[in-house]
Amino acid sequence: MKKFKATLVTLAAVAGLAVAVPSTAQAATACKTGGHAYICEYGVNTKVLPDGTKQVFVVDPDRSVWTRWTDSDGDWSSWLSMGGVAMSGVVTSVWQQSLPWQFSIHVIGTDGHGWFRERGADGSWSAWAPNRDPQ
């Protein structure tokens, strides 16, 4: 039931982004963080992990999602493309409070629907998948 509620809250948050999704022309303004360009209007999403390390997510001007993270010394990794075609900023959600290393990222795709990737406790990521309809 908790996962279902978390999914509903995430879907509501992502659905709320759909209202604020700028057109391609409006989203052309690029900002930079850590030397990487991103769509300013979509911002930078930072996820703090249980050990205090951080992982950030941005949407590149080509609309793919990019990420990087800190190591235990606080040094930043190189940027890594997570692919996808995002028409919104990235939203993160934790599946269960008892599993804080496992979380998902969500965006609105070009089809106007929510898409997500899930992070496993070992740091691995699933492929992009469409949001499931709650049953």
Distant-in-sequence, close-in-space partners of 40: CB < 8 Å, separation ≥ 6: 29, 30, 31
Does any domain span residue 80? Answer: yes
Quote the pTM value. Answer: 0.78
Does any domain span residue 91? Answer: yes
Domain count, the chain: 1
Q: What is the tens place of the pLDDT at every residue in 28-71?
A: 588 999 999 999 999 999 999 999 999 999 999 999 999 999 98
d(CA 59, CA 37) in angstroms, rounded, equals 8
Q: What is the residue range of 86's domain?
A: 2-130
Q: Distance of alpha carbon 61 from its chain centroid, rounded?
A: 15
Does any domain span residue 135? Answer: no
